[in-house]
Amino acid sequence: MVKSQFIAEKERLLDHHRVLLITTGSVASIKAPLIVAELLQYRNVKVEVVATKESLAFYDRADVVKAGSYKIGDPILHIELRRWADIVLVAPCSANTLSKIAHGLCDNLATSLLRALAPTTPTYIFPAMNTLMYEHPLTAEHVRVVRDVVRYQIVGPIGKNLACGDVGLGAMTEWFDVVKIVVNQMKLTRKDDK
Ligand SMILES: Cc1cc2nc3c(=O)[nH]c(=O)nc-3n(C[C@H](O)[C@H](O)[C@H](O)COP(=O)(O)O)c2cc1C
């Protein structure tokens, strides 16, 4: 590695922890503002949000714009974003996006940057869907491919009363547990800790 590259790499490490949150068209996207707000309680954390069009039905983009310098929908190159990210969360991950990842599709910014991601970038997928969608045999196959071939970490779903009225597996891991994974992975400290 030439010297300038080494310095750039070092500065990057000393700089910020960059968290990229991808939201998709699950009702659990209503938790995105909570995830962002909580992450920003930690030192040296920067958050950017990439929202699929469908996920924006579930939260107000103004509630996460404070996350970063880009606004949702800005034409950020997927390559720039994947270089920027130290950790990627797909929270929530819809059945549709899970399937797209398993099949290697890259037809929007979220799936394009995932295809361009270095395998060394920790990537966590938090599925969230109706119980029957989750129990559909194709879901197990998509989970298998995403976990064993693409090698992302799959967390959840959990069982509870779902927004659709069903009771069972399919809810996104609790939003504070999503944050906890980032905190542990990146060894973050809260701004209000002495
Ligand atoms: C009110 C509502 C709630 C939905 N909730 C979910 C959900 O929790 N999980 C899921 O996989 N799809 C859910 N869908 C369907 C997705 O939004 C749909 O499959 C969409 O194409 C997903 O697009 P995306 O993966 O690009 O975000 C919901 C749709 C509506 C209208």
> What is the chain's pLDDT, residue by residue, as a tens digit (194 residues)?
444 454 455 445 557 899 999 999 999 999 999 999 999 999 999 999 999 999 999 998 888 865 555 555 555 567 788 888 999 999 999 999 999 999 999 999 999 999 999 999 999 999 999 999 999 999 999 999 999 999 999 999 999 877 777 788 999 999 999 999 999 999 999 998 87
CA of 11 to the centre of ligand 1 (A): 40
The residue type at 65: V
Q: Which residues line ligand 1 at a C-beta cut-off of 6 Å? A: 24-28, 52, 54-55, 94-97, 128-129, 133
CA distance 65 to 69: 8
Please check whether residue 110 lies inside any domain of the structure: yes
Residue 3 forms part of a structural domain: no
User: Does 193 map to a domain?
Assistant: no
Name the 3-class secondary structure at 57: helix
Instruction: Say how many domains are in the chain.
Output: 1
CA of 16 relative to ligand 1 center, distance in Å: 32
- The model's pTM is 0.89
Domain assignment present for residue 152? The answer is: yes
Position 51 in a domain: yes
7 domain-assigned:
no
Copy the structure tokens of residue 43: 């030192």
- Per the structure, the complete domain to which residue 27 belongs is given by 15-186
Give distance in angstroms: CA of 111 to centre of ligand 1.
15
Q: Is residue 192 part of a domain?
A: no
Active-site annotation holds for 164 = yes
CB 117 within 8 A of CB 82: yes
Query: What are phi and psi for residue 159, nearest 5 degrees?
Result: -95, 135
- Is 37 inside a domain boundary? yes
Ligand 1 atom 14, closest CA = 26
pLDDT for position 73: 54
Return the CATH number at 177: 3.40.50.1950
CA 182 / ligand 1 centre spacing (Å): 25
Measured CA to CA, the distance from residue 99 to residue 107 in angstroms comes to 12
Residue owning the nearest CA to atom 3 of ligand 1:
27
- The dihedral region occupied by 186, where left means phi > 0, alpha psi between -120 and 50, and beta the remainder, is alpha
The ligand 1 atom at the shortest distance from the C-alpha of residue 52 is: 27
